[in-house]
A and B are shown apart, each in its own frame.
Chain A
Amino acid sequence: MMAGLWRARWSAIASIAPPYVWLVLFLLLPFFLVLKISLADLKFGIPPYTSLVSFKDEVLDLTIHLRGYILLFSDSLYIDTYLNSLKIAAITTLCCAVIGYPMAYYIVRSRPSVRHLLLLAVILPFWTSLLLRVYAWVGILRNDGVLNNMLMYIGVISAPLEIYRTDIAVYIGLVYAYLPFFILPLYANLVKMDLRLLDAAYDLGAKPWRAFLAITLPLSMPGVVAGSLLVFIPAVGEYVIPEMLGGANTLMMGRVMWNEFFTNADWPMASAVTVVMVLLLLVPLIVFQLNQQQRFEREAYR
């Protein structure tokens, strides 16, 4: 009897262990390493950072270098970059919401057969390479690109619009890349809404717009929140899109971090930038986790 219980306990642990262990090992642990190395100093050799702890002549030395953090908080370049990243991510999220909400709404309200096709059409770009699709925008937005040629051809403008290598191009690229991320969670939420609630509202005398504002919009909020976080958080740390479409002064944290690492080979600095980036995102991250947890716990319990 005891052996049976014991074995049951072990098999219960084994049934959840492997993914958990993988994630702890390759996700949680590495982040603590980033934290540790952000407190180290640059040095030549492999690895290119100092060790925090050293033991020599019976003395245990703990050295914490704050160079990186002090620089981050004192140099206006870094502060501007952080603020700019947040700003760009926020505007991107807003644009995705403005374009994505109507799209999600009209897809949900389509006939089921059409709905399936439309959803497929939203997901299809997902399957094709993001890199290549963003690259397509390079060709479109360049001074000698498709957009300018078209506009000049029909005579709307006489000189090319300078969009490529500016913030505007980055916005276009980000919204383009993250739009499906907003639409899908919102769609999942809207599709579960009972349309009979709207019927009840109409029956009670509400006009369609009123019903939308009073019923559909509030009920769709969890989906909007989920979609917004799925856009905002990763957008803050984006690298590829601002690098391909942005100008030299499109400051974003992802680029700064990349440069610190690849160009300056300053691993401690890059780590410090990363730590502060995650801390900045802590509040939205926690909101996202709570949202997910609520979802999963609600569904896991009988």
Chain B
Amino acid sequence: MGQATGHLIGLSGDAQAFVRLQDVTKIFGETVAVQSVSLAIQRAEIFALLGSSGCGKSTLLRMLAGFEPVSSGQIFLDGEDITDLAPYARPVNMMFQSYALFPHMSVQANVAFGLKQEKVPSAEIHERVYEALELVQMSPFAKRRPHQLSGGQQQRVALARSLVKRPKLLLLDEPMSALDKQIRHATQIELVRLIEQLGVTCFMVTHDQEEAMTMANRVAVMTEGQIRQTGTPQEVYAYPNSRFVAGFIGSTNLFEGIISVDQPGHIMIESEDLPRAFYVDHGVSEPLGMAVSISLRPEQIRVTRVAPTQEHNWAHGMVSHLAWMGSYALYQIRLDSGKVIEASVPSQVLATSEPPGIDDEVYVSWGHDSVTVLSS
């Protein structure tokens, strides 16, 4: 009785969410691995949980799969409370980091395994296995054993095995970590294409932000058992809500300052690292006089030999290090105040003029809308 009412009472804007985690907590002895996490994932969405090792993301994934009992909280899938269901009773399938292909079975038998457990008639099994292998382009390898396949091939078989049961939720555990760097990017695109083609709801965990940004519709950044920010990759990158997220996603330059002018249309922040205050062209919720952080992405910075004409948002310094990264150059510039910042300049821009080199004096500047103001 309490169960049913609880299910109804949990109504919020995300009540229609396909997958819903509600205050999920996991405690191991003294350690809190996952702290009261709530997430809502939409149907057919690819959702990435991003965090460094030890942040609790793997524990959360295992709770979704059913390998780890929940200490408190609930998990709902398609309206059904699956919190206490055993892994073999959930309509959830996982692709493991190591692929976990059964070494003593052929590719075909591996993919058929899940269907056999459902007592599907063998003619149908055969058909669906063939279909799944076709989908991942592994049909010619049906009779091979896992150890005869390359890493990428094994991954495709593992994927086929997880998808053949048409799960309501597909879980991916660090999907690219076992692959060589060169084929990662292409594999990411292909994987996304496949998942979208099937319309499967997907939840993945990764420590690789590039992977999360490339593959996911929405990203959640996790640290120390808590979710810090959730949003689309663009949102999380352009509008980080904290120093942590700003520094975690991509690289950034962080400045400390105090709000000196607070208007609805613009604010100004005094910082001891700059000759003039920051000019930001939007209002913020923080009050006048408050100490805040400013995040300025390297790609937002222009590097010039001559002083810019704008009144605010510039500084003077000397190039301390320069790295040519191919498509862009990464400048390390020591400002007059002593602070070192990074600026990335596209190679095309550099090609048009004589680019500054090491020990050259330069000016750095950026637009009024280029920075993000952070209070935490």
B residues in contact with A1, CB < 8 Å: 3, 84
A112 within 8 A of B: no
* Binary CB contact string for chain B from 74 to 110 against chain A (1 if under 8 A, 0 otherwise): 0000000000101000000000000000000000000
A residues in contact with B84, CB < 8 Å: 1, 4-5
Q: Which residue of A lies closest to B81 (CB)?
A: A1
Q: Which residue of B lies closest to A5 (CB)?
A: B84
B residues in contact with A8, CB < 8 Å: 86
Q: How far is the CA of A8 from the CA of B84 in the complex (A)?
A: 11
Q: Which residue of A lies closest to B28 (CB)?
A: A302
Q: How far is the CA of A151 from the CA of B322 in the complex (A)?
A: 83
* Binary CB contact string for chain A from 1 to 12 against chain B (1 if under 8 A, 0 otherwise): 100110010000
Q: How far is the CA of A1 from the CA of B86 in the complex (A)?
A: 12
Q: Which 5 A-B pairs have the closest CB atoms?
A: A1-B3, A1-B84, A4-B84, A5-B84, A8-B86
Q: How far is the CA of A239 from the CA of B153 in the complex (A)?
A: 60
Minimum Cβ distance to chain B for residue A224 (Å):
33
Q: How far is the CA of A4 from the CA of B82 in the complex (A)?
A: 13
Q: Which residue of B lies closest to A8 (CB)?
A: B86
Q: How large is the interface on B (under 10, 10 to 19, 20 to 34, 35 or more residues)?
A: under 10
* Binary CB contact string for chain A from 208 to 244 against chain B (1 if under 8 A, 0 otherwise): 0000000000000000000000000000000000000
Q: How far is the CA of A5 from the CA of B85 in the complex (A)?
A: 10
5 A-B pairs within 8 Å (CB atoms) are namely: A1-B3, A1-B84, A4-B84, A5-B84, A8-B86
Q: How far is the CA of A5 from the CA of B84 in the complex (A)?
A: 9
Minimum Cβ distance to chain B for residue A298 (Å):
16
A residues in contact with B3, CB < 8 Å: 1
Q: How far is the CA of A5 from the CA of B69 in the complex (A)?
A: 12
The interface of chain A, by Cβ under 8 A from chain B, is 1, 4-5, 8
Which secondary structure dominates where chain B touches chain A? loop
Minimum Cβ distance to chain A for residue B28 (Å):
9
Minimum Cβ distance to chain B for residue A301 (Å):
10
Q: How far is the CA of A278 from the CA of B222 in the complex (A)?
A: 56
Minimum Cβ distance to chain B for residue A277 (Å):
40
Q: Which residue of B lies closest to A4 (CB)?
A: B84
Q: How far is the CA of A4 from the CA of B84 in the complex (A)?
A: 9
Q: How far is the CA of A63 from the CA of B320 in the complex (A)?
A: 94
A residues in contact with B86, CB < 8 Å: 8
B residues in contact with A4, CB < 8 Å: 84
Q: How far is the CA of A5 from the CA of B3 in the complex (A)?
A: 15
Q: How far is the CA of A8 from the CA of B86 in the complex (A)?
A: 10
Q: How far is the CA of A8 from the CA of B3 in the complex (A)?
A: 20
Q: How far is the CA of A148 from the CA of B86 in the complex (A)?
A: 71
Report B209-241 residues with CB < 8 Å from chain A CB. Answer: none
B residues in contact with A5, CB < 8 Å: 84
Q: How far is the CA of A234 from the CA of B3 in the complex (A)?
A: 59
Minimum Cβ distance to chain B for residue A2 (Å):
11
Q: Which residue of A lies closest to B62 (CB)?
A: A302
Minimum Cβ distance to chain B for residue A10 (Å):
14
Q: How far is the CA of A4 from the CA of B3 in the complex (A)?
A: 15
Q: How far is the CA of A221 from the CA of B86 in the complex (A)?
A: 43
Minimum Cβ distance to chain A for residue B317 (Å):
42
* Binary CB contact string for chain B from 1 to 28 against chain A (1 if under 8 A, 0 otherwise): 0010000000000000000000000000
Q: How far is the CA of A82 from the CA of B123 in the complex (A)?
A: 73
Minimum Cβ distance to chain B for residue A193 (Å):
25
Q: How far is the CA of A136 from the CA of B107 in the complex (A)?
A: 54
Q: How far is the CA of A274 from the CA of B202 in the complex (A)?
A: 64
Q: How far is the CA of A238 from the CA of B3 in the complex (A)?
A: 64
Report B164-184 residues with CB < 8 Å from chain A CB. Answer: none
Report B48-91 residues with CB < 8 Å from chain A CB. Answer: 84, 86
Minimum Cβ distance to chain A for residue B68 (Å):
9
Q: How far is the CA of A290 from the CA of B86 in the complex (A)?
A: 34
Minimum Cβ distance to chain A for residue B313 (Å):
51
Q: How far is the CA of A5 from the CA of B86 in the complex (A)?
A: 11
Minimum Cβ distance to chain B for residue A276 (Å):
42
Q: How far is the CA of A1 from the CA of B1 in the complex (A)?
A: 11
Minimum Cβ distance to chain B for residue A288 (Å):
28
Q: How far is the CA of A174 from the CA of B86 in the complex (A)?
A: 53
Q: How far is the CA of A201 from the CA of B86 in the complex (A)?
A: 50
Q: Which residue of A lies closest to B85 (CB)?
A: A4
Q: How far is the CA of A212 from the CA of B86 in the complex (A)?
A: 51
Minimum Cβ distance to chain A for residue B265 (Å):
55
Q: How far is the CA of A282 from the CA of B86 in the complex (A)?
A: 44
Minimum Cβ distance to chain A for residue B331 (Å):
38
Q: Which residue of A lies closest to B86 (CB)?
A: A8
Minimum Cβ distance to chain B for residue A94 (Å):
42
Minimum Cβ distance to chain A for residue B61 (Å):
14
Q: Which residue of A lies closest to B3 (CB)?
A: A1
Q: How far is the CA of A93 from the CA of B72 in the complex (A)?
A: 54
Q: How far is the CA of A162 from the CA of B84 in the complex (A)?
A: 74
Minimum Cβ distance to chain A for residue B62 (Å):
10
Q: How far is the CA of A4 from the CA of B86 in the complex (A)?
A: 10
